[in-house]
Amino acid sequence: MLLIKITMINPEISIVLPCLNEEKALGLCIDEIETAIKNNNLDAEIIVVDNASTDSSPDIARKKKAILVSEPKRGYGNACLSGLKQAKGKYLLMADCDGSYDFNDIPLFLENLKENDLVIGNRFSHKELMPVLNRAGNWMIRRLLKLNGLNLEETCTGFIGAKRDKLLALNLQKPGMEFSSEVLVKAKKNNLKITEIPVNFRERLGEPKLNRFRDGFRHFKFLLFGI
């Protein structure tokens, strides 16, 4: 068992993992985060937000001594918002816990958050691992984000760093996958300093949760009509 430097009152960084049926990857992700914390002497907390999983994900989180938060209302945004409310860190890192992201990139996020309010983990140096339809959806969302003054290569990443107080001030509300578009649009409207950084990206473990057409429609509805 790794010894982790954790300050429960005011850690430097809160790592929030929205989780829906990720038993194949969750334990590995927590182990990788713990190693990154130890190797970089970070002051951190790990928060797993269980989004009404029907597998052993909550048990894994408890066994690994992560902070476990239950969010019964399904939806990526609902899970992220619950984690944000629970988090105590100055900085916040939200990441999918499906094994696709390399948590050794955590120090890179922290370095960039010193001078930026929002840091987007860009997967496109590994775009060959992304399904063609996912890339096409990202392209369309990128065009719509330009209408909101945002010129980004990555629009739907599951790896985002932010100053926690800045994110809380955005009054985020979207319950589903469109939450990621809401973050970007409101960050731009509130003049937050945004940057993209390249991150490592791997094939996910377990079944994907994304419904391309339903979730894509929710992005488009928000970006076109604000609803």
CATH of the domain at 62: 3.90.550.10
**Considering the chain, what is the average pLDDT of its residues?**
90
Q: Which of 82, 101, 100, 113 is nearest to 13 (CA)?
A: 113
Which residues span the domain enclosing 48?
Answer: 13-225
Is position 6 within any domain?
Answer: no
Stretch 88-104: mean pLDDT: 97
Is position 22 within any domain?
Answer: yes
- Which pLDDT band, with edges at 50, 70 and 90, does 4 fall under? very low
Helix (H) or strand (E) holding 163, with range, is: strand 159-163
Judge whether residue 5 has pLDDT over 60.
no
Taking the C-alpha atoms of residue 91 and residue 12, their distance in angstroms, rounded to an integer, is: 6
The pLDDT of residue 136: 64
Stretch 172-189: mean pLDDT: 95
Is position 8 within any domain?
Answer: no
Is position 5 within any domain?
Answer: no
Judge whether residue 168 has pLDDT over 80.
yes
Is position 120 within any domain?
Answer: yes
- Which pLDDT band, with edges at 50, 70 and 90, does 124 fall under? confident
Taking the C-alpha atoms of residue 25 and residue 18, their distance in angstroms, rounded to an integer, is: 12
Task: Give ∠ CA 95-114-108 in degrees, rounded to 5.
Answer: 45
Tens-digit pLDDT profile for residues 45-77? 999 999 999 999 999 999 999 999 999 999 999
The pLDDT of residue 145: 82
Is position 44 within any domain?
Answer: yes
- Which pLDDT band, with edges at 50, 70 and 90, does 129 fall under? low
Taking the C-alpha atoms of residue 50 and residue 208, their distance in angstroms, rounded to an integer, is: 16
Is position 82 within any domain?
Answer: yes
As for how many domains the chain has, the answer is 1
Taking the C-alpha atoms of residue 162 and residue 224, their distance in angstroms, rounded to an integer, is: 25
Is position 103 within any domain?
Answer: yes
The pLDDT of residue 134: 63
- Please give the residue that has the higher pLDDT: either 2 or 76: 76
